[in-house]
């Protein structure tokens, strides 16, 4: 049948006991919940007045059917048609949360993806070039650069987003105990180690290869140009290594410390190896803060993404917290306090702003200074409360800010990851305060990602009735399989001039999206976007189990 996309629903579904809201652009008044299997009305509700959607400058109507709690398969009907179908069921994200982590397996480099684990997405091992020359002189080489994950829709491998990924996986393993029993159907499954950590190890082993003997960590590994739309095993261009950067090194120190704790009970030798690497990286970064330029610049013949930012105090702040938590040594706490005085956000999460990771870690330290801990917690709570206020004032019940005279909108390159990163402070506050105050906001943001948005698009492959089908991802486009690998999240709408998709002129911010392989500014995928979304869905998976 033909669906009415002007009625936006979470195409995956809703929890029986929690808020259930659809948003309609076209019509208010009466709406009906239809049991699809019986084709009968099971609930009738009414949207009495329009809500002005400031982001998109139009009136919309909220259809609230929260009091209807019967599990089943449904759609919403008004006088203009029916919405996409959805379910009401317990633990809506039970299957999607693992899929978003298994995405990393599909991104493995230098590894054959066998049919028993990858299904129709199997392919041969790729990028088996062992050593790589170090830019810019190319007179020295790293002896072994194989392994790791392809970062995004191309085949580059980068340390700074990897640091975020490792954080997310380690804290998923720690904060969401139910995740430890998940079977991702990867080659390591069943070895006595949680699969979240098993998959992380594939990246960790590669990251360790990117560290120099002096402790510095090379920023990235890339070819000179982006490859064509080809399978990874056919990409034979020479790979180069970038110089060491402070962001990569300090973030590496933090993520390795977190991973060393996570692995301590499973593989002590591996844990010790990561801990030693963390110390060397931290000492190098501290010693070179005034020696190496802080902002990483592109260094030919390395191509690919830059992943540079103008501050590394947030990574050092995070690293000091992780090492303090790992060792209990007060010298790291003193460093943490000194780094706290620097001007960077103490609540943000992502591949660039990583202060929030340090704040959560410090608040979890048992022997932390209570006064300092209270201040750091207050930073997280303040950020969470501000974002919650955005959610309360958004017509689509998503914590995305609209543009006004003093700010740009939250619809930029990677806006979906911007949303899930913003929820990091909220989830941290919820965990530390042991409160469910923020849960409906987190649920509302998940509903946005799965279709309750202005274009009724499910931004995660393999789920919902209208999911992303053409991500900017070379393997997905060239593997001969119509549907892309499941569990990938799109970058999302992008309204920035010069970046918005070619058909988006004149469209509202949240509609600046096109599901096309070459719309990389709105439809690329990336490992750190996926692990950020997995961190959010893991929270819902845990509280709804």
Strand, helix or coil for residue 218: strand
- The Cα 279–Cα 421 span in angstroms is 27
Tokens of 44: 């009738």
**Residue 275 CA from chain centroid, whole number:** 25
Helices 415-433 + 355-363 axis angle, to 10: 10
Tokens of 237: 């261009």
Q: What is the pLDDT of residue 427?
A: 98
Radius of gyration (C-alpha) of the chain in whole angstroms: 23
User: How far lies 125's CA from each of 106, 110, 159, 430, in Å?
Assistant: 11, 5, 21, 42
Helices 355-363 + 370-392 axis angle, to 10: 120
For 463-509, the DSSP string reads: SSSSB----B-HHHHHSS-SSPPTTPBP------TTTS-TT-TTS-G
- The Cα 13–Cα 465 span in angstroms is 11
Q: Pick left, alpha or beta for residue 498 (phi over 0 → left; psi -120 to 50 → alpha; otherwise beta).
A: left
In degrees, to the nearest 5, what angle opens at C-alpha 530 toward C-alphas 525 and 532? 130
Q: What is the pLDDT of residues 75-98, one digit of tens each?
A: 999 999 999 999 999 999 999 999
Q: How many CB atoms lie within 10 A of CB 327?
A: 15
Give burial (CB, 10 Å; 0-12/13-18/19+) of 276. middle
- The Cα 467–Cα 490 span in angstroms is 10
- The Cα 70–Cα 87 span in angstroms is 10
Give burial (CB, 10 Å; 0-12/13-18/19+) of 457. buried
- The Cα 423–Cα 427 span in angstroms is 6
Torsion sign across C-alpha atoms 474, 475, 476, 482: positive
DSSP state of 83: P
Tokens of 315: 């990574």
Q: How many CB atoms lie within 10 A of CB 64?
A: 14
End-to-end CA distance of the chain: 34
- The Cα 340–Cα 321 span in angstroms is 11
Q: What is the pLDDT of residue 544?
A: 94
DSSP state of 181: G
257 contacts: CB under 8 Å, gap ≥ 6: 274, 275, 278, 319, 322, 323, 325, 326
- The Cα 460–Cα 99 span in angstroms is 10
DSSP state of 119: G
- The Cα 157–Cα 529 span in angstroms is 15
Q: What is the pLDDT of residues 506-531, one digit of tens each?
A: 899 999 999 999 999 999 999 999 99
Q: How many CB atoms lie within 10 A of CB 214?
A: 12
Q: How many CB atoms lie within 10 A of CB 269?
A: 7
- The Cα 192–Cα 189 span in angstroms is 8
57 contacts: CB under 8 Å, gap ≥ 6: 508
Which residues lie across from 134 on neighbouring strands? 241
Strand, helix or coil for residue 204: helix
- The Cα 234–Cα 227 span in angstroms is 10
67 contacts: CB under 8 Å, gap ≥ 6: none
Whose CA is closest to 503, among 523, 529, 488? 523
Residue-level length of the chain: 545
Residues of the chain with pLDDT under 50: none
Question: What is the value of pTM for the model shown?
Answer: 0.98
Q: What is the pLDDT of residue 407?
A: 84
Q: What is the pLDDT of residue 57?
A: 82
Q: What is the pLDDT of residue 406?
A: 75
Domain boundaries, the chain: 96-382
Q: What is the pLDDT of residue 56?
A: 80
Assigned architecture for domain 96-382: Alpha/alpha barrel (1.50)
């Amino acid at each position: 049948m033909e669906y009415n996309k002007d009625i936006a629903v979470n195409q995956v579904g809703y929890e029986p006991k929690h808020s259930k809201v659809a948003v309609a652009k076209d019509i208010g008044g009466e709406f009906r919940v239809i049991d699809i299997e019986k084709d009968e009305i099971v609930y009738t509700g009414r949207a009495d007045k329009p809500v002005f959607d400031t982001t998109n400058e139009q009136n919309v109507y909220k259809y609230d059917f929260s009091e209807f709690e019967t599990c089943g398969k449904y759609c919403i009907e008004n006088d203009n048609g029916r919405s996409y179908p959805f379910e009401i069921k317990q633990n809506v994200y039970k299957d999607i949360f693992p899929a978003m982590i298994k995405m990393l397996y599909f991104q493995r480099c230098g590894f054959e993806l066998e049919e028993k684990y990858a299904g129709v997405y199997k392919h041969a091992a790729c990028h088996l070039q062992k050593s790589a020359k170090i830019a810019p002189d190319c007179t020295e080489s790293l002896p072994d650069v194989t392994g790791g994950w392809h970062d995004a829709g191309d085949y580059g491998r980068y340390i700074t987003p990897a640091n975020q990924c490792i954080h997310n996986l380690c804290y998923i393993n720690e904060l969401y105990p139910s995740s430890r029993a998940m079977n991702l159907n990867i080659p390591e499954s069943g070895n006595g180690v949680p699969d979240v950590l098993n998959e992380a190890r594939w990246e960790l082993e590669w990251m360790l290869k990117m560290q120099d003997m002096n402790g510095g960590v090379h920023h990235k590994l890339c070819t000179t140009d982006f490859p064509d739309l080809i399978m990874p095993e056919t990409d034979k261009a020479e790979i180069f290594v970038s110089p060491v950067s402070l962001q990569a090194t300090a973030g590496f120190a933090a993520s390795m410390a977190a991973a060393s704790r996570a692995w301590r009970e499973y593989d002590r030798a591996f844990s010790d190896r990561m801990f030693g690497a963390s110390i060397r990286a931290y000492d190098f970064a501290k010693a070179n803060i005034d020696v190496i330029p802080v902002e990483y610049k592109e260094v030919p013949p390395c191509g690919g993404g830059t992943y540079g930012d103008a501050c590394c105090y947030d990574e050092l702040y995070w690293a000091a917290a992780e090492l303090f938590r790992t060792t209990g040594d007060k010298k790291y706490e003193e460093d943490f306090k000194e780094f706290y005085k620097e001007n960077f956000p103490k609540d943000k999460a992502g591949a660039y702003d990583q202060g929030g990771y340090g704040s959560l870690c410090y608040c979890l330290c048992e022997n932390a200074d209570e006064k300092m801990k209270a201040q750091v917690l207050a930073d997280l709570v303040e950020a969470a409360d501000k974002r919650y206020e955005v959610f309360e004032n958004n017509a689509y019940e998503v914590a995305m800010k609209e543009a006004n005279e003093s700010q740009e909108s939250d619809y930029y390159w990677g806006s979906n990851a911007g949303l899930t990163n913003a929820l990091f402070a909220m989830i941290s506050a919820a965990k530390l305060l042991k409160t469910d105050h923020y849960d409906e906001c987190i649920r509302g943001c998940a509903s946005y990602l799965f279709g309750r948005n202005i274009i009724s698009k499910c931004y995660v492959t393999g789920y919902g009735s209208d999911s992303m089908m053409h991500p900017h991802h070379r393997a997905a486009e060239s593997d001969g399989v119509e549907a892309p690998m499941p569990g990938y999240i799109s970058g999302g709408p992008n309204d920035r001039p010069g970046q918005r998709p070619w058909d988006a002129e004149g469209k509202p911010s949240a509609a600046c999206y096109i599901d096309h392989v070459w719309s990389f500014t709105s439809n690329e995928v990336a490992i750190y976007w996926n692990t950020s979304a997995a961190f959010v869905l893991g929270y819902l998976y845990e509280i709804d189990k």
